Structure 1
Amino acid sequence: MSYIPEQAAMPPEQRKGKILCCECGTPIEPNPVNMCPACIRLNHRDVTDGIPKQATLHFCSGCERYFQPPSEWVHCALESRELLSLCLKKLKGLNRVKLIDAGFLWTEPHSKRIKIKLTVHAEIAGGAVLEQVFAVEYTVAHQMCDDCHRSEAKDYWKASVQVRQKAENKKTFYYLEQMILKHKAHENTLGIKPIHGGLDFFYATEAHARKMLDFVQSVLPCKYQHSKKLISHDIHSNVYNYKFTYSIEIVPVSKDSIICLPKKLSQQLGGISQVCLVYRVTNTVHLIDPTTGQIGELNSTTYWRYPFGSICNPKQLVEYIVMDIEPIMEKDKKIAPGKGAVSNRHVLADVWVVRASELGINDNPIHTRTHLGHILKPGDSVMGYVYKLPTALSVSLRV
């Protein structure tokens, strides 16, 4: 029996001969430069020579943002992907090598030092690829951003949004406040100042003020006016410094108000009654005639073309007790030809009510018609308006 070497037993395609390093004579597998790794590092330049091992990050302690050249300040948490991306952008020589891996090295949180570990590949003479691992240390330097600088100098805002509603009842304005909080539309504000009749929002840029304007327009029907004031002017660089103001006026009607439409507008809405109830306010005003169930909608443009106010607001509501109710059948409804749409969500009904303060004293209930026939039943407590017409006393009911 003869001995067969282990390499001879391997298939020809798996046999690899070894050569001696041309510098130190160490047996190595063949490579394009015929050198061992130690000699390659000695005879070839460091592939990280053009990459700085130390750098500086500017941090604003007022708003806790990092400076991202050329002029942006961004929020970055420690050891986050955003902070790692910002650190890599500070290294100018990375474009000459291939970045394989990058990660943070632990440092004391209060040391004002950030370290990252990088793995790079670079091609050297003969087509060989050299891999190298190194660390870069960043020093966190404090620098006040422009926004914080203006705030300290009491010149912190460049744009303001003035929101006003000229009405006795502020129900629509309170709805706007809730929508601002729900959608966090106030995130970019530098300050909010309550003013009689509304609020003032202050912003560092006109773009943020414009964003708030667009939000208010998407929530409520309103109109606005734009103005700007010149603060300073550099004649050498031709730079102008303005302060911008957006004045927004919200429609002076609110949910559950009774309004009186202009005759021309009433005709445009399909002949709806001029005396209507506002049952909802979104980016349009939703109207309903409680006696016929006819509905209509007004957008911002239409309202300001034919403006009107409220003849009754929710502060004037009076409590009533429902004594009896009788829904109106479809066959008994009188719908004139050419009339507008009728609500499918409401049910017309004849209802007899008595004031809560006169219950047991007044035996003559008030008869009226309501659009809440699908909700009311005898014994319910409801809120309603009392207004006198030329022919009768009418009550408009709401739950």
Structure 2
Amino acid sequence: MEYVPTVVPHYVLCADCGTPIEPNSANLCIACLRNTVDITEGIPKQSSINFCRNCSRYLSPPQSWVSCELESRELLSICLRKLRGLAKVRLIDASFVWTEPHSKRIRVKLSIQKEVFTSTILQQIFEVEYIVSHGQCPDCTRLAAKNMWKASVQVRQKVNHKRTFLFLEQLILRHNAHKDTVSIKEAKDGLDFFYVQRSHAIKMCEFLAAVTPVRTKGSEQLLSTDTHSGTSSYKFTYSVEIAPICKDDLVCIPIKQARALSNINPLTICTRISNSLQLIDPTTLHSVDLPSTVYWRDPFPTLAAASDLIEFLILDVEPTGPTRGKYVLADAQVTFANSTTQHEVSDEGGRDSIFHTRTHLGAILQPGDTVLGYLLSRANFNNDAFETLEPSRIPDVILVKKTYPNRRKKNRTRNWKLKSIAIEAEDVPSTGADKVQGRGAFGRRGGLDQQKVEKDYEMFLRELEEDPELRGSINLYKAATATAAAVPGADVSMSSGAWGTNTSGGAKGRRGAKKAFAMEVEDDGMGEEAAGGATIEETDDEDDEDFPDIELDELLDGFNEMAVKDDAPGGEEVDEDDVE
């Protein structure tokens, strides 16, 4: 049997406290070693961090400003880069210690290791306190000095409505394309975006070209020249023109251009707008994708816009085929849905109010449905391309899309909201909260007809409700149910976008709605006549069964609602930040 010697550990006494320990280079125990050596020496326990209140950004060394939330990884990275001496130790862990958001203090707990002696590694935990110093970033300083922008993007569309810019606003928000914008002003036919750097303006032009059919022109203005260094200062302006064709518009393509586009029928409907125009012939289902570069070589105007649509009632529909995607060719028999429109057409010499037409909506139309279309038999267009068409090939009616009049008659509260860019029209910096809940840059100029702008916005909301494909490209947010919205008779619009929350009726409307609700409860459902002699009207119209409702899974969280404070003066709306 082989003999195995037993290893007996050797111990020495600690040089300070006399505790038996295993030998090390310092001959000190762990407790005495920590009391003798401080590995945090050279690392400051207090520092400062710069914060711009106008744009809600922090200064990241050396000279870049970054937007980040409290207790985020980005903010922790900025805090660690502010500390000197971390390069001499090994960082094990770093985390935030909770402080009051308004305390202007940020505390970070750090765990570090360092080799103090040969084969002796010491670990220590300590806290660093950062004082938040408020100031202005260079961008906000130039903005406060007025006219200190270096580049601007002027976006224009020569149409009589704002629906294109309302949709463009939502695309900008979804892709965060406005993060470098320092100011937005509303112009006559569009918006002006201002930037501190030329590269930011070029980036916005590239984004606009990717989502809309545009053409861009650039110009520059010389501000100053240094003859000694040979450097010059310029202001750059980019003019971006959006094609004056919108969704559901009727266009007549010139004959020569129509033949080049796979010989499509010149009379077409615009079904979708992206970086190209998607046109379809409703009588043959022949569709074409017209790129913006091809369109701007020989641009053509619209023949009729969405404001010229007339409501028709489907008397009979018979699908005939073929089928292409979601479109099915069908023969339809229609008449006027509005007696007023029928009377006006009859006064102009119309004898027959029943029209036979061919439509691409055979998959969704049923007898009794209401559709919007263009009446061409009584129209007079000043268009050269339209005059070259053979009269026998021009239909009396072109149906565009199905509509839901019963849905519009009912005063329903929308369960969703839209965010807004919310940068003021004036050159005034906005806070981070205003960028989420502000009124936006649309409809703020005094020269604009506010009622017309609100009408365009309501049409835009209806398009989102009725077109699932359209709302799939933007972000919709959940809206908390307001108290007044659940009361019969209350008129509260829960949709917020370019003008923010719009509450109709004010305090009187809310109080009147609550009173009507109380009277209905007293009646306890015994009849239509409530207590006090008030009569509650009920709508007999049935809801549209095939209406494409917006489901909850399509909505996103994260929208900060406007609080309604009943005890506020006049019952007006106040921000949550003002409610204590």
Normalised-by-shorter TM-score class? 0.7 to 0.9
So what's the TM-score if we normalise by structure 1? 0.80
**Which of 359, 366, 373 in structure 1 is aligned with 2:355?**
366
Residue 394 (structure 1) aligned with residue 396 (structure 2)? yes
2:333 pairs with 337, 344, 352, which one?
352
Paired residue type of 2:376: Y
Compute the displacement of 1:248 (Å).
1.0
Superposition map of 1:127-166 within 5 A:
127-166=119-158
Instruction: Give the structure 1 partner of residue 269 of structure 2.
Output: 277
Structure 1 residues 111 and 158 mapped into 2: Cα distance closer, same or farther (>3 Å)?
A: same
Report the CA distance shift for 1:186/1:107 in structure 2 as closer, same or farther (over 3 A). Answer: closer
Secondary structure in 2 aligned to 1:129? Answer: strand
Q: Which has the higher strand share?
A: 1
More off after superposition, 131-140 vs 105-114: 105-114
Aligned length: 375
The match for 1:17 is 10
Q: How does 1:282-301 map to 2 (within 5 A)?
A: 282-301=274-293
The answer for unaligned runs of 5 or more in structure 2 is 378-388, 402-580
Distance 2:142 2:136 in 1: 10
Partner Cα distance (1:215, 1:279) in 2: 22
Q: Check if 1:87 corresponds to 2:87.
A: no
SS in structure 1 of the partner of residue 316 of structure 2: strand
**Residue identity opposite 1:366 in structure 2:** F
State the secondary structure of the residue aligned to 2:93: strand
| Residues 50, 132 of structure 2: 8 Å contact kept | yes
Q: Structure 1 residue 222: deviation in Å?
A: 1.2
Aligned partner (choices 50, 65, 72) of residue 57 of structure 2: 65
Q: Give, in angstroms, the shift of residue 104 of structure 1.
A: 4.4
Match of 2:167? Answer: 175
The CA distance in 1 between the partners of 2:368 and 2:13, in whole Å, is 106
Aligned pairs (5 A) from 1:170-249: 171-234=163-226, 240-249=232-241
Whichever residue aligns with residue 317 of structure 2, its letter is I
Q: Residues 231, 365 of structure 1: CA spacing in aligned structure 2 closer, same or farther, 3 A cutoff?
A: same
The answer (yes or no) to whether the contact 1:169–1:254 under 8 Å persists in 2 is: no
SS at match of 2:246: coil
Letter in 2 for 1:321: L
Matched, 1:34 2:15: no
Partner Cα separation in structure 2 for residue 117 and residue 177 of structure 1: 42
Amino acid at match of 2:336: R
Structure 1 residue 321 corresponds to structure 2 residue 313: yes
**Shift in alpha-carbon separation, 1:77–1:374, aligned structure 2, 3 A:** closer
- Between the aligned partners of 1:177 and 1:23, the Cα distance in structure 2 is 71
TM-score (norm 2): 0.57
- Greater C-alpha Rg: 1
CA shift at 1:390, angstroms? 5.2
CA shift in 2, pair 1:267/1:88, >3 Å:
same
Cα deviation for residue 164 of structure 1 reads: 0.9
Say what the alpha-carbon RMSD is for the aligned residues.
3.2
- Alpha-carbon deviations, 1:230-250, whole Å to 9, x = none? 334455666544332221111
Identify if the C-alpha distance between structure 1 residues 110 and 281 changes in structure 2 by more than 3 Å, giving closer, same or farther: closer
- Distance verdict in 2 for CA 1:134–1:239, change over 3 Å: farther
1:371 maps to amino acid:
H
Tell me the secondary structure at the aligned position of residue 91 of structure 1. Answer: coil
Q: How many Å apart are 1:149 and its aligned residue?
A: 0.8
**Deviation digits for residues 35-86 of structure 1, max 9, x if unmatched?**
34576578x7644443334433223233333211211112344444333322
What does residue 245 of structure 2 align with? 253
Give secondary structure in 1 for the equivalent of 2:396.
Answer: strand
CA apart distance, 1:115: 4.1
1:382 aligns with 2:384: no
CA distance in 1: counterparts of 2:101 and 2:160, whole angstroms: 55
Over 3 Å counting, the alpha-carbon distance change for 1:62 and 1:307 in structure 2 is closer
| Contact 1:169 1:313 (8 Å CA) reproduced | no
Instruction: Calculate percent identity across the aligned residue pairs.
Output: 49
For 1:90 and 1:397, how far apart are their aligned partners in 2?
65
Cα separation, 2, equivalents of 1:145 and 1:279: 45
CA contact (8 A) 1:162 1:248 kept: yes
